[in-house]
């Protein structure tokens, strides 16, 4: 009964991009949908660029710029993966604005995305966002459907 009275408290996190927010289990890649790479959710990137969802530090920027690892000030670690097959394009269509060790704030530009290029190449821009250090905690989506970049209160991480 108490669980119905209290909603999970939102995590200090904003949507890193604009698009359709979906559960990770709906991603059309089994590495993500079966949670082999971790739990989280995805946003089908529809327009615009990719922004930092947290205040924290950049831990990794893949050479192909398709994924960025972040450690938030609340110690959660995130992997923002842009699109499903963007790695195969060797960085083309993506312009990184961060490097390892940089301090970022919510809403800072991480990566510019050339939507025209990816549309021409028929690339699925479903973008998984994983929490890589859950350690038994659970991901709770507080919203589904359309989200706007920098929108708050979409995610809670609970025990």
pLDDT 10s digits, 86-138: 999 999 999 999 999 999 999 999 999 999 999 999 999 999 999 999 999 99
Query: pLDDT (tens digit, 9 = 90+) per residue, 66-95?
Result: 999 999 999 999 999 999 999 999 999 999
Active site (catalytic) residues: 81
Which tokens go with 35?
A: 């949670």
pLDDT of 31-59, one tens digit each? 999 999 889 999 999 999 999 999 999 99
Q: Which domains does the chain have, with CATH numbers?
A: 10-135 (2.70.70.10)
Q: What are the φ/ψ torsions at residue 98 (nearest 5 degrees)? A: -135, 165
Q: What does the CA dihedral 84, 85, 86, 89 come to, rounded to 10 degrees?
A: 180
Cα separations (Å) of 158 from 9, 67, 82, 99, 110?
8, 25, 25, 30, 27
pTM of the model: 0.93
Identify the CA nearest to 156 among candidates 135, 142, 146. Answer: 142
């Amino acid at each position: 009964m108490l669980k119905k009275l209290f909603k999970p408290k939102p995590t200090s996190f904003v949507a890193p991009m604009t698009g359709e927010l979906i559960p990770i289990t709906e991603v059309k890649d089994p590495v993500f949908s079966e949670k082999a790479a971790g739990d989280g959710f995805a946003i089908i990137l529809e327009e615009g660029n990719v922004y930092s969802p947290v205040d924290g530090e950049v831990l990794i920027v893949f050479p192909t710029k398709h994924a960025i690892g972040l450690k938030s000030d609340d110690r959660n670690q995130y992997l923002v993966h842009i699109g499903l097959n963007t790695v195969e394009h060797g960085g083309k269509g993506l312009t990184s604005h961060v490097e390892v060790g940089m301090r970022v704030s919510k809403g800072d530009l991480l990566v510019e995305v050339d939507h025209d290029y990816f549309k021409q190449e028929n690339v699925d821009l479903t973008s998984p966002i994983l929490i890589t250090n859950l350690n038994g905690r659970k991901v709770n989506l507080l919203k589904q459907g359309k989200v706007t970049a920098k929108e708050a209160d979409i995610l809670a991480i609970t025990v």
